[in-house]
Amino acid sequence: MKQVKVLGSGCKNCETTARIITEQAQQLGVEIELEKVTDMAQIMGYGVMSTPGVVVDGQVVHAGGLPSAADVVKWLAA
């Protein structure tokens, strides 16, 4: 199971990012545990200054703007 965190304030882009990740995981048949992190101190602890940020298994893989579905597939397949 992959541990995925979406870092952000809960804005529209953050919600869309979480939805894209969930949809791609379902299509790939990959089990994920998705957590939304809204605490700015925690977000900055990852070194993310631009949201939404995405952390997969403890590693920051994305920061700022919406990720593409292809990017999400790469993160989940790794």
Known catalytic membership, residue 70: no
Helix (H, G, I), strand (E, B) or coil at 41: helix
Domains of the chain: 2-77 (3.40.30.10)
In this prediction, residue 78 carries a pLDDT of: 80
Known catalytic membership, residue 19: no
Annotated catalytic residue, options 4, 6, 7, 14: 14
Which are the contacts of 59, defined by CB distance < 8 A and separation ≥ 6? none
Whether the upstream peptide bond of residue 52 has omega within 30° of 0, thus cis, is yes
Helix (H, G, I), strand (E, B) or coil at 7: strand
Q: Is the pLDDT of residue 38 over 90?
A: yes
Give per-residue pLDDT as tens, 45-58.
999 999 999 999 99
Annotated catalytic residue, options 9, 11, 59, 69: 11
- Contact present, 23 and 54 (Cβ < 8 Å): no
As given in the structure block, the two tokens for residue 68 are 């593409």
- The band of 18, judged by pLDDT with boundaries at 50, 70 and 90, is very high
